[in-house]
């Protein structure tokens, strides 16, 4: 694991336990949302089923977080629809971002209290997951002051957008660009940040999508101090 550019995320002082991993393939944003909400509801009703990581890639979609500035959407809803891109207003933090094929999306659903993390520490853990993953492929990555996500010297490579629901249960997560078509990002101001290009790992290192997906899941589980159950 590389030396991160800040203090490491605190780990919970508890025995090693497990996190379930579900590889979902390519699915719509709406279907992924149902998976997350069902997992949360099951946990609230029975206390079972968490933590779980859903890893996937989305059909083309632009998601708009609670802080989205409409000026960062450069087309009309109809024009996005004509291009086969869904548009969704969602309950995570942050501005508008794009998800699509070739981008590893990971939704960890967990109870923060059981993980020994505060909300801010959890967001840092998601960023650190992408930094560590980049390092495995010889790519230096880092965070930027005032912004959430993961950057390289070639541009932003990963985004973080999460929500913490009642009971401290997490929802949404991170999106990491592997071989996604970067032209989609030209249709928005990604995350409301106009002064940074967007990049992808395939342009910086020789990678395969499934390999990177596995690395992301492995690294987030390791940072959480959990073993993976597939």
Among the listed residues 64, 134, 150, 191, the single catalytic one is 191
Whether 191 is a known active-site residue: answer yes
Helix orientation angle between 209-224 and 119-136, rounded to the nearest 10 degrees = 140
> What are the φ/ψ torsions at residue 195 (nearest 5 degrees)?
-105, 15
Neighbours of 135 (CB within 10 A): 16
Q: Which residues contact 185 (CB under 8 A, 6 or more apart)?
A: 98, 198
Q: How many angstroms separate the CA atoms of 207 and 220, rounded?
A: 19
Extended strands (E) in the chain: 17-27, 52-58, 61-64, 86-89, 96-99, 103-109, 142-144, 147-152, 155-165, 169-177, 226-229
Q: What positions carry a catalytic annotation?
A: 191
């Amino acid at each position: 694991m590389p030396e991160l550019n800040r203090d490491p995320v605190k780990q919970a002082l508890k025995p090693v336990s497990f996190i379930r991993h579900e590889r979902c393939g390519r699915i719509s944003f709406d279907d992924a949302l149902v998976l997350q909400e069902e997992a949360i509801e099951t946990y609230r009703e029975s206390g079972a089923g968490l933590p779980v990581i859903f890893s996937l890639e989305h059909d083309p979609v632009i998601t708009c977080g609670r802080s989205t500035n409409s000026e960062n959407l450069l087309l009309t809803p109809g024009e996005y629809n004509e291009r086969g891109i869904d548009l969704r207003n969602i309950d995570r933090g942050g501005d508008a971002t794009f998800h699509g094929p070739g981008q590893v999306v990971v939704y960890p659903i967990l109870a923060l209290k059981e993980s020994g993390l505060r909300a801010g520490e959890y967001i840092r853990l998601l960023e650190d997951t992408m930094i560590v993953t980049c390092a495995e492929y010889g790519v230096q990555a880092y965070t930027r002051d005032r912004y959430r996500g993961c950057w390289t010297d070639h541009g932003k490579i990963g985004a973080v957008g999460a929500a913490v629901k009642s009971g401290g249960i997490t929802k949404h997560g991170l999106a990491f660009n592997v071989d996604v078509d970067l032209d989609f990002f030209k249709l928005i101001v990604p995350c409301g940040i106009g002064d940074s290009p967007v990049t992808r790992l395939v342009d910086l290192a020789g990678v395969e999508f499934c390999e990177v997906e596995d690395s992301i899941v492995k690294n987030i589980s390791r940072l959480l101090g959990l073993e993976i159950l597939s």
